Amino acid sequence: MIRLFWRDLALAFRSGGGFGLGLGFFLILVTLVPFGVGPNSERLMAIAPGILWVGALLACLLSLDRIFALDFEDGSLDLLATAPIPLEGVVAVKALAHWITTGLPLVLAAPALGFLLHLDSAAYRWLMVTLLIGTPALSFIGAFGAALTVGLKRGGLLMSLLVLPLYIPTLIFGAEVIRRGAGGFLVATPLAMQAGITAGSVALLPFAAAAAIRVALR
């Protein structure tokens, strides 16, 4: 399983773009927003938490089909399914690798982009914390969505339709944490809720995703 983890990481780094693509998309999205709503810094400050979270969501979505689709096409997924490690473990490892190549860079880059959007200075800490806690949920929920659509020819659009509604609770609590952090309010409740969603997704969704993959490989 550890070897699978390094293999997935290496593939993401080498296959040109998998690693930086999400970040680039995040940057472009944040650059586009001021063009859309105008450069007024107060307005940008008000919408920055939401934009940063929605951007993280979309950047994550963009790279989801890489989790299983390539392995499904060249048959390695069949090998992994018959390998002596549980398929649930394979899913979890792949989702973790996806998080390290997509979620973690977003967490690290977010403060710089928050700076571009005039995010309130009190909110930077919470931006980092909530992204760090929330983005694993995005990867694991996304892995489930990718598993559902793995056998389909043009699954990309369908996958966004399936995955984005599942992202809603994470988004709500994440943006709420930043908003409260910026206003100097208590952030414990939404943060705890978000941590709960992440813990639940990490613990349970690999089983659902593995079930979906078994159906697709049947």
Residue 157: both structure tokens together: 């659009």
Candidates 55, 103, 114, 155: give the one binding other proteins (CB under 8 A).
155
**Does the footprint of other proteins cover residue 161 (CB under 8 A)?**
yes
For 26, 163, 205, the CA distances from 60, given in Å and listed in that order, are 9, 11, 17
Stretch in the footprint of other proteins (CB under 8 A) among 11-19, 29-37, 49-57, 149-157: 149-157
Residue 118, by phi and psi: left (phi above 0), alpha (psi -120 to 50) or beta?
left
**Does the footprint of other proteins cover residue 86 (CB under 8 A)?**
no
Candidates 21, 58, 116, 216: give the one binding other proteins (CB under 8 A).
216
Give the span between the Cα atoms of 138 and 112, in whole angstroms. 21
**Does the footprint of other proteins cover residue 168 (CB under 8 A)?**
yes
DSSP string, 133-179: HHHHHHHHHHHHHHHHTTT-TTHHHHHHHHHHHHHHHHHHHHHHHHH
Stretch in the footprint of other proteins (CB under 8 A) among 56-64, 66-74, 124-132, 205-213: 205-213
Q: Which positions touch other proteins (CB under 8 A)?
A: 144, 148-149, 151-152, 155, 158, 161-162, 164-166, 168-169, 172-173, 176, 189-190, 193, 197, 205, 208, 211-212, 215-216, 218
